[in-house]
Amino acid sequence: SSEALLLVDAVSSLAAVDLRADAWRLDVVVAGSQKALMGPPGAVFLSVSDRAWEASRTARMPRWYFSWDRARAEITSGKALMPFTPPLPVIHALQASVQMILAQGLPARFAHHRRLGQAAREGVAAMGLRLFADPRHASDTVTAVRVPDGVDARELVRRLRTDHGVVVAGGQGRLEGRIIRIGHMGYVQEAQVDAALRGLAEVLPALGHPVPGAGPTAGLEGA
């Protein structure tokens, strides 16, 4: 019964997890061309409910480039036009990546991301490291790991890249220096998750943090 609109950030989840905008009555879902859609960054997609369209129509905030009504009028004019110049290379890349996704099938794709997410979390736990998110609510597209006390997060990221060819992201804002983020979405396969976990298992002891456990890639067995 609330008049509030429900907005969902699906930038890193669209095409990786089940997302049903209409069935779940989501008013606005925002996604980008990168991440699990496997395209280069540069395009944004919106799923907009009737309630959100009406709210946009009656809103008094001045807008021009981000006018939904203007964009909708152009797109539905029968000319298939955008109100402004679209990022054509990004759209052509997306055409190819979406064909790959549909060929795999969404159920299989969702299951693939679940396996990678579980493998990453189990591998991190096997090294005695702590996850940032509660495993019950953890993402299947990225795993955030707490950096152990006494370990320089920037040096950890640097050594993974230079010594093992593994690129992970650090924390942002108040989490800078406190976490690293391992992405496992889009093109990523079991081999890349394996490489990231093995890299961690080798770099951490070199930075003064021993790695106990049954093995960093235990979660990949059978994946």
CATH topology match: 7-104 vs 106-220: no
Q: Is the pLDDT reported for residue 214 higher than 60?
A: no
Q: Is the pLDDT reported for residue 85 higher than 60?
A: yes
**What is the per-residue pLDDT for 66?**
83
Q: By 3-state DSSP, what share of the chain in percent is helix, strand and coil, each rounded to 5?
A: 45, 15, 45
The residue written with tokens 């049903």 in the block is 20
Every domain of the chain and the residues it spans: 7-104, 106-220
Euclidean distance between CA atoms 37 and 33, whole angstroms: 6
Mean pLDDT of all residues belonging to the chain:
92
The residue written with tokens 């539905």 in the block is 76
Q: Is the pLDDT reported for residue 215 higher than 60?
A: no
Q: What is the mean pLDDT of residues 118-125?
A: 95
**What is the per-residue pLDDT for 174?**
97
Euclidean distance between CA atoms 34 and 139, whole angstroms: 17
**What is the per-residue pLDDT for 213?**
62
Confidence band (pLDDT; 50, 70, 90) for 161?
A: very high
Q: What is the mean pLDDT of residues 196-219?
A: 83
Task: Quote the CATH superfamily of domain 106-220.
Answer: Aspartate Aminotransferase, domain 1 (3.90.1150.10)
Quote the radius of gyration of the chain (alpha carbons, Å): 21
- Bigger pLDDT: 214 or 98? 98
Q: What is the mean pLDDT of residues 79-104?
A: 91
**What is the per-residue pLDDT for 82?**
78
**What is the per-residue pLDDT for 191?**
95
User: How does pLDDT run across 3-35, given as a tens digit for each residue?
Assistant: 899 999 999 999 999 999 999 999 999 999 999
**What is the per-residue pLDDT for 189?**
95
Euclidean distance between CA atoms 36 and 38, whole angstroms: 5
Whether the Cβ atoms of residue 59 and residue 35 lie closer than 8 Å to each other: no
Euclidean distance between CA atoms 201 and 215, whole angstroms: 8
**What is the per-residue pLDDT for 219?**
53
**What is the per-residue pLDDT for 63?**
85
User: How does pLDDT run across 34-66, given as a tens digit for each residue?
Assistant: 999 999 999 999 999 999 999 998 888 888 878
For every residue of 97-142, which 3-state class applies, written as one string? HHHHHHHHCHHHHHHHHHHHHHHHHHHHHHCCCCECCCHHHCCCCE
Looking at domain 7-104, its CATH class is alpha beta
Q: Is the pLDDT reported for residue 101 higher than 90?
A: yes
User: Among residues of the chain, what percentage have pLDDT more than 70?
Assistant: 94
